[in-house]
Amino acid sequence: MVKKNLVLVGHGMVGQRFLEEFLAQPGAARDWRVTVLAEEARHAYDRVRLTSWFSGTSAEELALCGDSFVAEHGIDLRLGDPAVAVDRERRTVTTGSGQLIGYDALVLATGSYPFVPPVPGHDAPGCHVYRTLEDVAAIKEGATTARVGAVVGGGLLGLEAAGALRAMGLETHVVEFAPRLMSLQVDDGGGAALRRKIEELGVVVHTGAGTQAISTGADGRVRAMSLSDGTELAVDLVVFSAGVRPRDQLARECGLVVGERGGITVDERCRTSDPHILAIGECAQAADGRVYGLVAPGYAMAEAAARELTGEPGSFTGGDTSTKLKLLGVDVASFGDAHGSTPGALDVVYTDTRAGVYKKLVIGEDGALLGGVLVGDADAYSVLRPLAVSRRPLPAPPEQLLLPASAAGSSAVGGAALPDEALVCSCHNVSKAAIRAAVTDQGCTSVREVKACTKAGTGCGSCVKLLGGIVEEELAATGVELAPGLCEHFAHTRAELYEIVRVKGIASFSRLIDEHGTGEGCDICKPVVASILASLGNGYVLDGEQAALQDTNDHHLANLQRNGSYSVVPRIPGGEITPDGLITIGEIARDFGLYTKITGGQRIDMFGARVDQLPQIWQRLVDAGFESGHAYGKALRTVKSCVGQTWCRYGVQDSVGLAIELELRYRGLRSPHKLKAAVSGCARECAEAQGKDFGVIATAEGWNLYVGGNGGMTPRHADLLAADLDRETLIRTIDRFLMFYIRTADRLERTAPWLERLEGGLEHLREVVLEDSLGICADLDELMERHVGTYQDEWAATLADPERLRRFVSFVNAPGTPDPTVRFVPERDQIRPARPEEGGGHRVPALVAGPELEVRTR
């Protein structure tokens, strides 16, 4: 397919943002070739923080885009080669260097230029504007020889410029035509508070005064400035910061419709009057008829344009012009309807002239917060602005919101007061709901991760504090303490990986890590993936690549012991075993010189087998009708039982029969952690079913099912999930409980902590498995059917395949040779591993007892 050509004119903040948004759209990189024409000779940089360059922030630190971004996306970026003409008929752009570039879509992001009042002397040496890195570099150089500086314009940038001049040691004046500073953002009261604070810093403020002329000295340089109020200022450096005008000249020249007061006219999808041309940012007059001089609305337009070009929904109908900044150390914020222009709006004002604090809230007739002005203390901005934008009723009486935090006591509002739809980051248009979702759905566990995930807080940064509060609250609510990413290779939790594997039908670790992870994996993620693959019915656990994922226990179908030998546990379902079975196990243990012990799960563990002995031991067991007991796996271990009604005088049901049925049903089921179960034949509970992952206790009517019990280090009594179930319902309920647990639990999370963590707890679990509230029961049932239907004994399967058996040797180049470092000594008529001082392990060569040690019984 032939790629279409996209030409972006302008590589400022909005242009760069457009590139990021556009290239993030599905198919954008595939369908489009992107050319960027930039006037400046450097990559896009952060103009909002331009003033910080004076205090040491380097141009590199201000950069918003590096060579890697350009290279990675194959962007044809032409620095220092601006567009000079557009031929709309032939759809070409002519660049400054004379090149002709064709386009299928043209995006104009030419920004704005500083307005310089046309007063005499405005272009004399010593006069500056404040827009680019070159401008600030020129001001800095000029300041080295200047003594007195004047800034024309008492707005946001003007005050920043004044601060910079003051910091460079100049006597500094600010000349503002309006009757107050920052007239767009703050009201008279706020302006007065701001003025006092700024004058305290040694800056002379002239409001209600226009610049009439700039006179020059004999050397042609700036010498003085005369104001409309008659003041004469002896200045030798002037910075014009009297507002900006949209750079729409290119658009005008090619006949695009522009607004009366400038700005390329665009609709809500940022389309100009030419369907092939879009315009975004400060050069455009938005659909609401306004030309926005702030970065946040520009970003929103960039996003809308990117989505328009790729056919995705998205629009820009008007922006939030709220602002919070620190000007010369003074916090200033204005948001929503700061001037109270809404009919019926009322003010609530708090002023502390001594402390230089001025706060005003604009309240609507219905009591909702409409906007406000904060000067000197703007901490409440991050909470108040979203409230105003969402038009929600105030969480507390307005006077409490205005009082200083100490006076307001505990009533200070945090993120919790915000509604979900409240916009927290207006630079990147991120709502509180999106931030909460990043934590709950996408597993972010830190502000850093949420910032990376949502971009919230990465613009002006004013919302970071609020963001932190919301993330913290959300984390606390979900009970997550650890980073949920499995390990360095997967940012997903086990449950997420399970869903990925299930939904995408992934059958190999390689594919999973290549598509959803990084690196080569490790001892944490590999066994987890092996378990997930096994849970979802991917066959024999040692086949193909799955073999490489298993922990040594699963890989050897036996349990590694401290000296490198293994123990072997055959399944004894329900703990019921025939005398012949007991004898067989006894004979095998005796013949291989194994140590035997009765386990807590009512079976027999045989210790001391070398790797090369394992198949021989299995063969003997399989021949006698035994199979693997999965003592090595994160899988069902045993279903313990009491003897039950059959023999016991008190029993009311056949607990052994049910235990055997359950153990055979769930044998081999791989899960996030081991699973233990029990069935008691009466309420006396001799099988200790309430200390198991699932436990069943017989009643006169049927069976009570308990789940989430645990023994071990953190004992937990199981919860009664359902009572008096018939056998069929009982089994179906356990099926679903187990599959739901396997689907949603974390790595190595037993059912007890899983149930504690489960949102909605036991009641939710009940709804899921008994009432199918999530509509997943059919899936769960099917998965269990598949498990039951495809179960095979892993020992027999291994023995049946010579290729598989080849792995069970001590030495690949000496298959018959036993490992000489596995040594035992006698103790209590059996063997035990030799301790190091007895010659155990590798380093001490003295042989006390070799691998063929024979142990005689009395």
Partner 1 sequence: MTTTQDTTTAVVEIDCGKRWTPVCEYGQLIPGRGVTALVDGEQVAVFRDRAGALYAVGNTDPFSRASVISRGILGSRGDTPVVVSPMYKQAFDLRTGECLDEPETPDGSAARLRVWPVRVIA
Instruction: List residues binding partner 1 (CB under 8 A).
Output: 488-489, 510, 519-523, 525-527, 545, 547-549, 551-553, 555-556, 560, 562-564, 806-807, 810-814, 817, 819, 821-822, 836, 840-843
Residues in the chain: 858
CB of 59 to partner 1, least distance (A): 31
> Count of alpha carbons within 13 Å of 647, Cβ hemisphere only?
7
Residue 510 vs 646, nearer CB to partner 1? 510
- Tokens 């998205």 belong to 314
CB of 562 to partner 1, least distance (A): 6
Residue 118 vs 845, nearer CB to partner 1? 845
Tokens of 552: 């040594």
User: Taking the alpha carbons of 310, 312, 318, 320 in that order, is the dihedral positive or negative?
Assistant: negative
- Tokens 């960027």 belong to 36
Tokens of 578: 């025939």
Task: Give the strand pairing for 112-114 and 244-246.
Answer: antiparallel
CB of 516 to partner 1, least distance (A): 16
Q: How many helices and strands (H and E) does the chain possess?
A: 28, 38
CB of 533 to partner 1, least distance (A): 14
- Which among 294, 292, 248 has a CA at the least distance from the CA of 272? 248
Q: What is the DSSP string of 782-819?
A: HHHHHHHHH---HHHHHHT-HHHHTT--S-TT-TT---
Beta bridge partners of 522: none
Q: State how far the Cα of 596 lies from the Cα of 607, in Å rounded to an integer.
A: 6
Q: Calculate ∠ Cα 809-812-817, nearest 5°.
A: 60
Diameter of the chain measured on Cα atoms: 120
CB of 100 to partner 1, least distance (A): 46
DSSP H helices, 241-379, are 249-253, 295-309
Tokens of 148: 């007195």
* Class of residue 779 by CB neighbours under 10 A (exposed 0-12, middle 13-18, buried 19+): middle
Residue 380 vs 513, nearer CB to partner 1? 513
CB of 702 to partner 1, least distance (A): 45
Q: State how far the Cα of 433 lies from the Cα of 646, in Å rounded to an integer.
A: 58
CB of 568 to partner 1, least distance (A): 16
Q: Where are the beta strands (DSSP E) in 681-755?
A: 694-698, 703-707, 719-725
* DSSP collapsed to 3 states, 324-340: EEEECCEEEEEEECCCC
Task: Give the strand pairing for 148-152 and 237-240.
Answer: parallel
- Which among 252, 247, 317 has a CA at the least distance from the CA of 283? 247
CB of 564 to partner 1, least distance (A): 4
CB of 841 to partner 1, least distance (A): 3
CB of 842 to partner 1, least distance (A): 4
